[in-house]
Structure 1
Amino acid sequence: MTSTTSDRDQIVERLADLAAALDRRDWDAVGAMFVPSATGYRRTGRDEIVATVRAHLGGCGPSQHLLGNHRVEIHGDEARSLTYARVHHQGKGTAEGRAYECFGEYEDRWTRTPAGWRITSRAFTISYDLGDFAVLQPG
């Protein structure tokens, strides 16, 4: 990012990068979004976070993480973001033809690093879901 890009814009772009990495199943890019000691998805540590996400999306068909209504608070080198999400997952293999969709909100805590903003903690609260959760499976 250029120095003219605001901290808020940088964080919103990082959120979009993470959503795209999840949908591409780019596990290295997913891990790079978190500091090594991050917490998220009820796990501690970047490797555990990636393993947990991979266990849900690795064997799933296509997915799309749609993000919106970004609220970002910056406090020096720390930040908090709240982001609405609508996530659609298609089944594959034995789950082909089925789908699972959830609506919710991500709450992320951020820290500024020499490499840019990175997530220190992530929580996703589902407010509504429909379909077959079983389409989420390890690859």
Structure 2
Amino acid sequence: MTQDSSSAEREIARAHYGYAYALDTRDWAQLDAVFDESAQAHYGPGIDLSGREAIVRSIRSFLDHCGPTQHLIGNLDINIQGERANARCYIRAHHLERDSASPKSYEAFGRYESVWLQGPAGWRVTDWTMTVTHEVGSREVLGLRATEA
């Protein structure tokens, strides 16, 4: 059931934006529309995850420590090859500390690279990699010590 490439690109782009909204609104169920059940994710050195449940659990382990966040997706590039697609985009993720009159912040700049497969439920990520290229602020906002990845 191969879609035309412009419809496929729109669906994959919407899923990227849905990912960002899900993180910022803490709508974890929305990630079912992004990640395949058996997806693999790589969020940096030592954070290699297998399966959608493990991915969501890991994301929550960071964001449940935060106050408001804003994940911005930019320069999205999608390459469709039949029922498989490769995508890449830039990410800018801003995180504020929870419950503080003058909160600390943490901001990560980087990119996502992903592999998508089309199945009966639509396009889903099978492999997701986040590469952080620059950081500003305190990782303590994520519940990490400054030296942890």
Q: Do residues 115 (structure 1) and 121 (structure 2) align?
A: yes
Residue aligning to 1:137: 143
Q: Do residues 82 (structure 1) and 88 (structure 2) align?
A: yes
Instruction: Note the 1:95-110 alignment, pairs <5 A.
Output: 97-110=103-116
Instruction: Note the 1:50-89 alignment, pairs <5 A.
Output: 50-89=56-95
Q: Do residues 37 (structure 1) and 38 (structure 2) align?
A: yes
CA contact (8 A) 1:70 1:82 kept: yes
Deviations 1:28-76 (A, max 9, x none): 1123311111011310011100000000001210100111101111111
CA contact (8 A) 2:72 2:93 kept: yes
The one-letter code sitting in structure 1 at the alignment partner of 2:14 is E
**What is the aligned-residue identity percentage?**
39
Number of corresponding residues:
136
Residue aligning to 1:18: 19
Q: Tell me: CA distance 1:98–1:36, structure 2 relative to 1, closer, same or farther (3 Å).
A: same
How far is the alpha carbon of 1:114 from its aligned partner?
1.5
Q: Tell me: CA distance 1:115–1:23, structure 2 relative to 1, closer, same or farther (3 Å).
A: same
Q: Tell me: CA distance 1:66–1:16, structure 2 relative to 1, closer, same or farther (3 Å).
A: same
CA contact (8 A) 2:15 2:33 kept: no
Moved over 6 A (4+): none
How far is the alpha carbon of 1:95 from its aligned partner?
9.6
Residue aligning to 2:54: 48
CA contact (8 A) 1:95 1:134 kept: no
TM-score, structure 1 normalization: 0.90
Q: State the Cα RMSD in Å.
A: 1.9
Q: Tell me: CA distance 1:38–1:95, structure 2 relative to 1, closer, same or farther (3 Å).
A: farther
Of the candidates 92, 101, 125, which is equivalent to residue 98 of structure 2?
92
Unaligned runs of 5+ in 1: none
The one-letter code sitting in structure 1 at the alignment partner of 2:19 is L
- 1:97 counterpart SS class: coil
Q: Aligned partners of 2:101, 2:24: CA distance in 1, in Å?
A: 18
Residue aligning to 2:147: none
Unaligned runs of 5+ in 2: 145-149
CA contact (8 A) 1:60 1:91 kept: yes
